[in-house]
């Protein structure tokens, strides 16, 4: 029996009578395996909502670095948001003016922004990049199951054998979309249930069928669908959960994302124990006419961001109305950001790192990381270097929100990633200490011609230093080791690397910092 399964079957029996087979719980010492189990991950009612923004969202016009406004403007003058229209989060950073809803959430303390989330050696294919984000693989690694699926497989071993059952009567994960995505793909079966789209979801609730032809084939089709509906183990519970909620706060229409989030709120309130919901919203592949040519605050991208922002705000207000705000956290992701420099067709091309948003009452509402540095002169291929590995965000949410034990995290995330204190007062683990204001990384000597020195500090434990070029390619990993706390220097010889800008990234526990260095001839 797997540990989690044991836990699940044991806990209800032990908590109520506080005896197991006649033994008082106190009879077990602190070191006993059972006591450790009970101190470990606790069953919780936390829910994670994943919002996928399909197409590659332009991060620089979403979260705008006011701090480097003139370089920002130079790089993309045809689509740059006028400085006086930016919705300030801090004096240095602001949001696209279409995002009034998310600005309000930030002010309410329910939104955080993770700057420049990405991964080493970014891929610029929609498909491959999407797979990387969903599988949480390395760039050069092909993994055919998803991080959500691995989590659910860990949480609910042996699924689908023996499910649904009394402890988990509900779908493990629900995807609003035509088919469950790679995110929910477990090691052998998909762990998610899909509700093909909001319209057919309501059809499900209302018991409406797609039309079947009026002949023998139609008769058999109806018969098979009937059996399918009767035997789809989860349709009834989903319908019951939805039916249990009759009143919700208003959502904007038309807004495809709001339609989907409205369903999520309804199902969570309706009592489903489902751990992960995934919704998606497409159209972010803004190669041309991202903004109108006359007013960069209007156009396709502004409409998309407005819908995202309005939908999430309405969702959050509804969660409050339904009194389930404490149970739900959300996260946005897109397969990549877009290039720093805009193109001449008022658009942007496939890029690299971009901001992620976390929303919900439990989030630590803040700006994570620094504004991306924007060079004064931008080349067409220049990309935003990553500050946070997106998998650190996943890993932190798994550990701090979905209460995966730290020692088990690696089997889901496949590697160690830094833990970020993304969640307020998490019910699961201790918050990592704050490290703001400390400089962990200095470049001694930049610009340099051949060699320079990287001075860095670590609080001990796993320490990682990576060097990326402006396209986000990993050039070198000078440090990747368990180290005692202290200050160190690393003499760096750039070898045959061409002249140009490079980014040094340090990661140590919850800390990561990025510094630029320039090689000249």
Please give the residue ranges that form the binding site for another protein (CB under 8 A): 52, 54-55, 123, 125-128, 130-131, 142, 144, 160, 177-179, 181-182, 188-190, 196-197, 210, 213, 215-217, 219-221, 223-225, 227-228, 230-231, 233, 280, 282-283, 285
Comparison of 145 and 507: residue with beta carbon closer to another protein: 145
- Quick check: bond before 472 cis, omega within 30? no
CB of 96 to another protein, least distance (A): 21
Comparison of 131 and 408: residue with beta carbon closer to another protein: 131
CB of 238 to another protein, least distance (A): 16
CB of 471 to another protein, least distance (A): 17
Comparison of 224 and 485: residue with beta carbon closer to another protein: 224
Structure tokens at 320: 């409050």
Please state, in angstroms and rounded to a whole number, the distance separating the CA atoms of residues 204 and 208. Answer: 6
Comparison of 42 and 230: residue with beta carbon closer to another protein: 230
CB of 28 to another protein, least distance (A): 40
Comparison of 223 and 490: residue with beta carbon closer to another protein: 223
Give me the DSSP letters along 215-241: SHHHHHHHHHHHHHHHH-TTHHHHHHH
Comparison of 187 and 433: residue with beta carbon closer to another protein: 187
Comparison of 36 and 232: residue with beta carbon closer to another protein: 232
CB of 227 to another protein, least distance (A): 5
Diameter over CA atoms, the chain: 81
β-strand pairing of 173-176 with 276-281: parallel
Long-range contacts of 287-291 (CB under 8 A, 24+ apart): 287/343, 287/345, 287/347, 287/348, 287/349, 288/343, 288/345, 288/346, 288/347, 289/345, 289/346, 289/347, 290/58, 290/61, 290/79, 290/342, 290/346, 290/347, 290/348, 291/61, 291/78, 291/79, 291/346
CB of 514 to another protein, least distance (A): 27
Please state, in angstroms and rounded to a whole number, the distance separating the CA atoms of residues 512 and 118. Answer: 13
Structure tokens at 70: 């003139």
CB of 199 to another protein, least distance (A): 10
SS3 category, 277: strand
């Amino acid at each position: 029996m797997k540990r989690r399964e044991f836990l699940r079957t044991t806990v209800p029996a032990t908590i109520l009578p506080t005896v197991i087979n006649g033994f008082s719980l106190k009879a077990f010492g602190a070191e006993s395996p059972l006591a450790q189990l009970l101190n470990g991950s606790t069953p919780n009612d936390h829910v994670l909502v994943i919002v996928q923004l399909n197409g590659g969202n332009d991060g620089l016009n979403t979260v705008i670095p006011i701090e480097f406004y003139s370089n920002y403007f130079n790089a993309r003058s045809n689509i740059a948001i006028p400085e006086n229209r930016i919705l300030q989060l801090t004096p240095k950073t602001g949001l696209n003016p279409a995002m009034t809803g998310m600005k309000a959430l930030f002010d309410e303390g329910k939104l955080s922004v993770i700057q420049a989330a990405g991964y080493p050696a970014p891929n610029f294919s929609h498909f491959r990049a999407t797979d990387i984000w969903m599988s949480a693989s390395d760039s050069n690694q092909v993994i055919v199951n998803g991080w959500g699926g691995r989590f659910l497989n860990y949480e609910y071993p042996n699924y689908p054998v023996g499910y649904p059952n009394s402890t988990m009567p509900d779908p493990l994960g629900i995807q609003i979309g035509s088919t469950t995505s790679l995110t929910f793909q477990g090691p052998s079966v998909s762990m998610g249930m899909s509700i093909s789209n909001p319209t057919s979801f309501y059809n499900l609730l209302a018991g409406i069928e797609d039309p079947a032809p009026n002949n023998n084939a139609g008769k058999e089709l109806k018969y098979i669908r009937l059996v399918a509906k009767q035997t789809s183990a989860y349709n009834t519970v989903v319908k019951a959960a939805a039916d249990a909620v009759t009143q919700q706060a208003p959502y904007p229409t038309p807004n495809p994302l709001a339609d989907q989030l409205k369903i999520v709120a309804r199902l969570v309130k309706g009592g489903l124990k489902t751990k992960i919901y995934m919704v998606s919203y497409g159209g972010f592949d803004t190669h041309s006419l991202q903004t109108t040519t006359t007013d960069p605050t209007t156009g396709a991208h502004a409409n998309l961001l407005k819908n995202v922002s309005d939908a999430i705000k309405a969702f959050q207000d509804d969660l409050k109305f339904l009194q389930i705000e404490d149970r739900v956290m959300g996260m946005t992701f897109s397969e990549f950001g877009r290039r720093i420099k805009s193109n001449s067709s008022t658009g942007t091309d496939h890029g690299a790192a971009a901001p992620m948003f976390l929303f919900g009452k439990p989030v630590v509402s803040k700006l994570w990381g620094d504004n991306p540095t924007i060079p004064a002169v931008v080349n067409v291929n220049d990309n935003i270097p990553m500050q946070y590995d997106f998998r650190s965000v996943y890993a932190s949410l798994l550990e701090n929100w979905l209460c995966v034990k730290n020692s088990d995290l690696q089997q889901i995330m496949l590697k160690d990633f830094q833990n970020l204190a993304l969640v307020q007062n998490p019910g699961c683990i201790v918050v990592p200490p704050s490290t703001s204001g400390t400089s962990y990384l200095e470049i001694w000597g930049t610009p340099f011609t051949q060699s320079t020195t990287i001075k860095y500090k670590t609080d001990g434990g796993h320490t990682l230093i990576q060097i990326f070029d402006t396209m986000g390619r990993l050039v070198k990993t000078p440090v990747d080791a368990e180290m005692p706390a202290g200050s160190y220097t690393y003499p760096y010889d750039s070898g045959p690397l061409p002249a140009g800008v490079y980014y040094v990234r340090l990661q140590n526990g919850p800390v990561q910092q990025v510094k630029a260095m320039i090689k000249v001839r």
